[in-house]
Structure 1
């Protein structure tokens, strides 16, 4: 079971951001990315919102770094950790425009892109950018298909759909990964689970409780088997409860899994047993230094017990 992190600082929703992140910036992002790279984390993730309406700003904040710019910046400062967009709202733009950005990122990083995509949920964001909010699910379905064609090995990719069609238009550089970078589909609704199963190379659930995961994982397996996809590689993801390795000297919240490394490892192995193959982690922290300590402690003391 691989494990990665959503980066701090780059998105600061009140649902998960720690107070110290408000005053943080590029230096702190670099430090966390380099630590994840050094300690063997599978990926670092960055979210996307182009613009947040005033009605949602108090809860969501307006701090949302651009994923392509942020992951490109961090690619140059790291060596092996994968670069995950979790998630890119690709329905906001033409798939060829997205393909150009993410193919370049994969090329520049030496093949480290994990393209996570999702439908989005902010109506004003779509309307202002001229995108179809009401049909965003259908748009995402077609966009995924178009992206898979555009991110393949062909210099002049071709695709014909109801909304998007292209042919005879060359794009270089091509992605470093062959035949293309993996596409992980985010979302926990019934249509999102189906989309992930039939169109994606992996599934990124959005904060489901543990007990909600097994029936959705089983549904993905059934759908893929019925579609003849059972033998193709597929990554099942999950977002773990907040973690704190050790005995906290402060209130880390009732949902946080904390304690000795063996205790945390036992709790996380339950995800593996239900079929999860990559786990996204978030550590409680009061400062950058404490977060870096938590990243190291997990890698050194907990991760070996997940095998």
Structure 2
């Protein structure tokens, strides 16, 4: 699940999150860890322009700092950057940050990357917004080298070139999973040809089978035999019968009914569903997480 509190976009944040703090974030992360959630995720924006502030807000926690903070308070749950806009910085800098996070967390990092969409953010940091897709493609290739086993990684590309420079600590994992976020044709292709996983953004259920088929076809054409994790972001959830208005798109009802609806994702080829719960408080959120883990997850297979 994506963590609350760390991003306060009007598109998904609940009203109670605005007054929440680090203690609430810790409690949610510990609940995810205790209840067996696969990963907790933190997204990224470096700076938000005034024209977007009312919708996006300016509250976006740094993913490396946030996930490191939560790594020390958890034991098992994986730590996903969903997504890191890695094209905003040199890949050696990104590799240093995330390799350290993987080392300190005992190998729990999943590096999720995306192209980004805020022009002013790129311009302020001196990165070409129009070429962000090409920059991300090479950045992913460079990160593959920089996060590998070699203490002195090498990469020689159009935009980045490095060699003979050592970085330690190395990641705890032999291969840090690299997931690509996004649903554009370029993002789907990037995920298929460069990713270990794909996490679409906002695809409705009826569009997902075609997108998944495209990912698999591209990998087959390229001769890539390694498996790829296929993700999806489910509709908002509320386990049980809510006594308040949770919105018409929210999946509600008895655990078996919620599970039956979610199983449709597996039938179309999805490996992991990212969930979000409607809530009016941190306590209601953690109660929903626990109820989902105890009553819905066992029905998902």
**TM-score computed with the length of structure 1 as normaliser:** 0.98
Aligned-partner Cα distance in 2 for 1:282–1:207: 13
69, 74, 81: which is aligned to 1:78? Answer: 74
Give yes or no for the alignment of 1:41 onto 2:9: no
Counterpart in 1 of 2:2?
6
Match of 1:261 among 255, 273, 290: 255
Q: CA deviation at 1:233?
A: 2.1
Secondary structure, aligned partner of 2:40 = strand
Gaps of 5+ in 1: none
Structure 2 residue 15 is matched with structure 1 residue 26 = no
CA shift, 1:207, in A, is 1.4
| Equivalence for 1:250 | 244
- Which of 136, 142, 146 is the matching residue for 1:140? 136
Counterpart residue number, 2:278: 284
1:149 & 1:277 partners in 2: Cα distance?
27
Residue 66 of structure 1: aligned partner: 62
SS in 2 for 1:146: helix
Q: Secondary structure at the match of 1:279?
A: strand
The Cα shift of 1:184 comes to 0.0
Q: Are 2:212 and 1:217 equivalent residues in the alignment?
A: yes
2:199 alignment counterpart: 204
Deviations 1:31-69 (A, max 9, x none): 000000000000000000000000000000000000000
SS in 1 for 2:112: strand
- The corresponding residue for 2:53 is 57
Offset at residue 200 of structure 1 (A): 0.5
> In the alignment, which residue of structure 2 is the partner of 1:271?
265
Q: Deviations over 1:169-196 (max 9, x none)?
A: 0000000001x20100011000100000
Alpha-carbon offset, residue 25 of structure 1: 1.1
SS in 2 for 1:171: coil
Q: What is the CA–CA distance in structure 1 between the aligned matches of 2:172 and 2:202, rounded to whole Å?
A: 31
Structure 2 portions without partners, runs of 5+: none
C-alpha separation in 2, matches of 1:54 and 1:150: 35
**Aligned equivalents of 1:208, 1:61: Cα separation in 2:** 23
* RMSD over equivalenced CA pairs, Å: 0.4
CA distance in structure 1 between the partners assigned to 2:171 and 2:111 by the alignment: 12
Matched position secondary structure for 1:6: coil
Structure 1 residue ranges (4+ consecutive) displaced by more than 4 angstroms after TM superposition: none
- Residue 207 of structure 2: SS of its match in structure 1? helix
TM-score, normalised on structure 2?
1.00
Report the count of equivalent residues: 301
After TM superposition, list the pairs within 5 Å mapping 1:122-141 onto structure 2: 122-141=118-137
1:232 is matched with 226
Tell whether 2:104 aligns with 1:108.
yes
Secondary structure, counterpart of 1:87 in structure 2: coil
